[in-house]
């Protein structure tokens, strides 16, 4: 019987700044392969969804600034930072607003361009990717200090194992053209890894509204556009821990001489789609039990939930028409679940709970389809309706929810 996960010989590939023999990007071998088209032992994603509940946040005056923000969820607090308006906001778990402050600017405690933000013990840290500056705030939002080193050149920066791990889409910031860079606690460059092919330089950034990188325990995981590997980055180097396999993978020489931002030409994305390749991975997240990712295959937008404990996958296909009221009479309960799943933008995880946001339009479609609800959807909708009415949520506002995976 063919297994979804295939164990293969693992070759550890480590490239240091001083090593002149760089490793070819496409030669990375992987530990495990996930065949996204294999239905052996597949399961229904909907069966893996537990409770869905609304984060009962007191909107007050600053909540409206949250438009697909970056998010941190701890056991007792929620923190948000939007790179649209640069509001840093903290909430208690009961929904009470702790602080709200705009940190855009060049002054003390301000940032020009947010790379990302993360929590180190009880310290909130915001990375300014323009200045190479790490700003530190208390858990109550008070600015306390910053690390300002021009050597910190990265697009995304994470704190891991008493060091800073950077991912740079502009590899000219690194003399060896490497994507992954490690800095010590003082911002000094230590090592770099993973030489990118020229066609990826300058092109790998946030896909959709979700960063394609995250810290998983003691490891920085990430994916790159037009590539099928899920990489793991630690002080020991870079390895391909998982690889998503399909029958419609783009050939390695597909782009020819085209590189960098030229890949953003709509004609190229249209060509990729018309040929049915597996492409545009997005929405990547991982819990202790699952890996979640979206992708296109044969012009169909799908979402994959991979269960690491049993080496099996479930997939769900996005409806062709989202939130079209004229289609309401034709909908089923499964369609409603699809609307919920694909309108939910995943922002962060804590254990096996996924946190994120939904647009007001989902509430509108649910308001028109109450006869199709099962018990779980009905419980969620009752809570959602109460929250929308009490907080006076309207079109354009985001609603934050959490989804427990079983």
Three-state secondary structure call for residue 294: strand
- How far is it, in rounded angstroms, from Cα 66 to Cα 230? 29
Would you say residue 316 lies in a domain? yes
**What angle separates helix 333-343 from helix 375-391, to the nearest 10 degrees?**
50
Structurally, how many domains does the chain consist of? 1
Would you say residue 110 lies in a domain? no
Would you say residue 310 lies in a domain? yes
The dihedral over CA atoms of 306, 308, 311, 317, expressed in degrees to the nearest 10, equals: -10
Contact 362, 340 (CB under 8 A): yes
Would you say residue 161 lies in a domain? no
- List per-residue pLDDT tens for the chain, 406 residues long: 433 433 322 223 333 333 333 345 666 788 899 999 988 889 999 999 999 999 998 876 655 567 788 999 998 999 999 877 889 999 999 989 999 889 998 888 888 988 889 998 889 999 998 888 899 999 999 999 888 776 788 889 999 988 999 998 765 544 566 789 999 988 888 888 888 777 776 665 445 567 889 999 999 999 988 889 999 999 999 999 999 999 999 888 888 888 777 877 888 888 988 999 999 899 999 999 999 999 999 989 999 999 999 999 999 999 877 656 666 677 889 999 999 999 999 999 988 899 999 999 899 889 988 889 999 999 999 999 999 998 888 887 889 999 999 9
| Cβ count within 10 A of residue 66 | 22
pTM for this one? 0.87
User: Which residue segment(s) compose the domain that 45 sits in?
Assistant: 31-60+287-406
Would you say residue 391 lies in a domain? yes
């Amino acid at each position: 019987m063919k297994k979804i996960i295939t164990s293969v010989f693992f070759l550890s590939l480590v490239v240091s700044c001083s090593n002149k023999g760089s490793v070819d990007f496409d030669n990375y071998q992987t530990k495990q392969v996930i065949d996204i088209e294999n239905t052996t032992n597949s399961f229904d994603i909907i069966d893996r969804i537990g409770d869905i509940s609304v984060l009962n946040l007191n909107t007050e005056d600053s909540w409206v600034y949250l438009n697909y923000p970056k998010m941190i969820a701890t056991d007792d607090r929620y923190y948000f930072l939007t790179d649209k308006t640069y509001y840093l906001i903290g909430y208690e778990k009961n929904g009470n607003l702790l602080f709200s402050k705009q940190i855009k600017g060049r002054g003390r405690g301000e940032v020009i361009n947010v790379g990302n933000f993360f929590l180190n013990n009880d310290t909130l840290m915001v990375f300014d990717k323009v200045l190479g500056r790490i700003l530190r705030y208390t858990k109550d939002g008070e600015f306390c200090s910053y690390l300002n080193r021009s050597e910190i050149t990265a697009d995304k920066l994470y704190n891991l194992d008493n060091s800073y791990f950077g991912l740079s889409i502009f590899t000219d910031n690194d003399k060896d053209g490497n994507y992954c860079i490690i800095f010590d606690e003082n911002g000094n460059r230590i090592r770099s890894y993973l030489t990118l092919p020229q066609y990826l330089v300058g092109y790998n950034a946030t896909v959709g509204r979700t960063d394609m990188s995250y810290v998983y325990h003691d490891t920085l995981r990430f994916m790159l556009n037009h590539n099928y590997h899920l990489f793991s980055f630690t002080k020991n180097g870079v390895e391909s821990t998982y690889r998503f396999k399909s029958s419609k993978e783009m050939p390695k020489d597909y782009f020819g001489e085209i590189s960098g931002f030229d890949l953003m030409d709509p004609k190229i994305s249209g060509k990729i789609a018309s040929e049915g390749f597996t492409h545009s991975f997005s929405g990547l997240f991982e819990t202790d039990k699952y890996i979640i990712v979206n992708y296109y295959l044969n012009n169909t937008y799908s979402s994959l939930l991979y269960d690491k404990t049993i080496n099996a996958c479930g997939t769900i296909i996005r409806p062709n028409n989202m939130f079209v009221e004229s289609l309401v009479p034709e909908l089923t309960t499964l369609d409603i679940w699809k609307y919920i799943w694909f309108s939910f933008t995943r922002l962060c995880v804590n254990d096996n709970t996924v946190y994120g946001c939904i647009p007001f339009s989902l509430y509108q479609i649910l308001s028109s389809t109450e006869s199709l609800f099962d018990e779980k959807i009905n419980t969620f909708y009752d809570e959602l309706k109460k929250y929308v009415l009490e907080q006076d949520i309207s079109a354009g506002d985001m609603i934050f929810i959490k989804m427990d995976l079983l």
